[in-house]
Structure 1
Amino acid sequence: MTKPPLVETPEGWVPSGLKVRGKAGGKPASAPSPVETQPVVTPPVAPSPPEPRPVEPAAEVPEAKAGTESKASFRPMPVLTILSILCLGILYMLGDWQWTKFVEKSRAPAVAAATAPVSVAAGLQSPQPEYRPVELTGLIDPRSVRVRALRDGISGYRIFTPIVLEDGWIFVDRGFVVETDADKVPVLSGQISYRGVLRKGAKANSFTPDNDPIRQDWYWPDLPAMGASLKLTGGSPAYYVALNLVDPLASGQTQINPWADSKGANQIPPDRHLGYALTWWGFGFALIGVYTGLHIRTGRLRFGRSPS
């Protein structure tokens, strides 16, 4: 048997066709490199900057035309508005009450300056009966009506007694008594002569309570209703006589009746009533100013801009 020829290899002579280290054909295997090859790291490529795009011109904002009128608006605060209205009503009534007192007391002295008193009938026919001095003689009715009153801060009653005249009847104000002396007023009868001034029966102010004729509870001299409660007919439906000098308890000491005086029961001069009226109304205007300013500050009230 013929032996295969030998082939020279780096390991030496080996038979032809013998695989050496996994290589066929006797070809020498490549020797491994003693130095490991480091992987080549490719540096990151920086992104190229974007190409500049043409800048479009900004859209022009149309300017507000001069003279453009903005709309006015008002959004009231509910609770504040209700309270302000209530306060304004009270302030107005207080001022109106003081103004009425001022007007009454300012006009009264000129009327009361008449030189001599006249009869009740003549006084009622005069152009201005209020505070007209009169004198009357007639038969006094024993019945009386008590009207609640306040004099110098003291509560009590004014005693109204009807006097029967030749041509009718009229109430006379006999004076003021405190509540504790209301039942001590004596009952009068017979012929009587008085001097006084005509006064109009009306409410003192809007705060005066309403009368209750059924209970005989009177807060102001409602003369027709008072006469009807005594079953009197005819007479003076609008005026009564406030006596100049009064002594309702028949104590023998007469006093000046303040309701016959133009200054009234509280003796406050007219100018002071005017000051009180202006003060109350001034508070009302101040309240309106505060209310308006608060709504403007909070943006609830805006006024329209007039065209230029």
Structure 2
Amino acid sequence: MTFRPLPVLTLFTLASLVILVWLGNWQYGRFTEKMALDKAEPEWALIDGSVIQGSETMVYAYVDANAAWRRVVAIDTGRDVVFTPTEIIYQVEPPSPCEGPDCSAGLRYAARGLYQVPRGRNAFSGEDSPQTGIYYTLDPAVLAAVLPADLAGRVDGRVFEPETIRLTENGRTMVGENPFARVRADSELPPQRHFGYAITWWGLAMALIGVYLAFHHQQGRLRFRKGSDA
């Protein structure tokens, strides 16, 4: 075999190859990190209190690449006021707030879960509609506006995510794991997406090698046996 590489093309190919492999390795590292976090046992907390009348809102969520809405209520524990979701509804259009028993004043609520730091708004967040109880970020500081002043002053800045939650899709409701009640707080990019990105970057690296060799073969700079013009 004879091989006469083009210096400039070889330099740029090697640099690109290093970047592509590094990106693939980084994405795979994120995949393994998130998988490890998902398997870690959280330090569960307990909440016990009563639902505050008129506190129910619908908050947009993005769950496992699906649009959804979370039914959120405020719980008065006697010491703090904590906002917590009670249901995840998988649909694009926002449901109407205050449907079901959660609207009842004084309804007792007790659950095991995690306290999570709320995520702020971003450039893609929709416009909140306090008049209809529709919000696009689960931020206690924002939702506190639906409460009387004395209760708003006791709002905890964290969100309580119950371990289990009602899940509603296509009119069917069941109780299942809350995808937000986990050590890994981010929900928009599951581990499997990182694995897919890693395969993509590594695939591009292999394709680059193939194109590089094919180009040199076409230019007569790569021969696999003597006397071959093919």
Question: Structure 2-normalised TM-score?
Answer: 0.54
1:189 aligns with 2:101: no
| DSSP-derived class of the 1:73 partner | helix
How many angstroms does 1:234 deviate by?
4.7
Instruction: Give a deviation string over 1:122-173, Cα, whole Å, max 9, x none.
Output: xxxxxx5xxx141312452422221224678875421111112333211121
Q: CA, structure 1 residues 92+293, in 2 after alignment: closer, same or farther (shift >3 Å)?
A: same
Q: CA, structure 1 residues 200+281, in 2 after alignment: closer, same or farther (shift >3 Å)?
A: same
Q: CA, structure 1 residues 218+191, in 2 after alignment: closer, same or farther (shift >3 Å)?
A: closer
Q: Report the counterpart of residue 161 of structure 1 in structure 2.
A: 73
How many angstroms does 1:257 deviate by?
4.1
C-alpha separation between the residues in 1 aligned to 2:29 and 2:140? 24
Q: 1:241 aligns with which of 155, 158, 161?
A: 161
Percent of counterpart pairs with the same letter? 9
Alpha carbons 1:174, 1:246 under 8 Å: kept: yes
Q: CA, structure 1 residues 280+96, in 2 after alignment: closer, same or farther (shift >3 Å)?
A: same
Q: CA, structure 1 residues 241+218, in 2 after alignment: closer, same or farther (shift >3 Å)?
A: same
Q: CA, structure 1 residues 236+106, in 2 after alignment: closer, same or farther (shift >3 Å)?
A: same
Q: Report the counterpart of residue 58 of structure 2 in structure 1.
A: 146
C-alpha separation between the residues in 2 aligned to 1:101 and 1:254? 28
C-alpha separation between the residues in 1 aligned to 2:33 and 2:156? 24
1:283 aligns with 2:200: yes
| DSSP-derived class of the 1:171 partner | strand
Q: CA, structure 1 residues 298+199, in 2 after alignment: closer, same or farther (shift >3 Å)?
A: farther
C-alpha separation between the residues in 2 aligned to 1:100 and 1:239? 24
Q: Report the counterpart of residue 304 of structure 1 in structure 2.
A: none
Higher relative helix content: 2
1:73 aligns with 2:8: yes
Q: Paired residues, what number? A: 185
How many angstroms does 1:290 deviate by?
2.2
Structure 1 runs not aligned, ≥5 long: 1-69, 112-127, 264-272, 300-308
How many angstroms does 1:94 deviate by?
7.8
C-alpha separation between the residues in 2 aligned to 1:235 and 1:293? 59
Question: Structure 1-normalised TM-score?
Answer: 0.43
C-alpha separation between the residues in 1 aligned to 2:62 and 2:54? 25
C-alpha separation between the residues in 2 aligned to 1:289 and 1:156? 38
Amino acid at match of 1:195: A
Q: Flag the structure with more relative contact order, 1 or 2, with Cα contacts below 8 A and sequence separation at least 6.
A: 2
Amino acid at match of 1:239: V
Instruction: Give a deviation string over 1:161-216, Cα, whole Å, max 9, x none.
Output: 1112333211121112355782261422125232131142556xxxx974345446
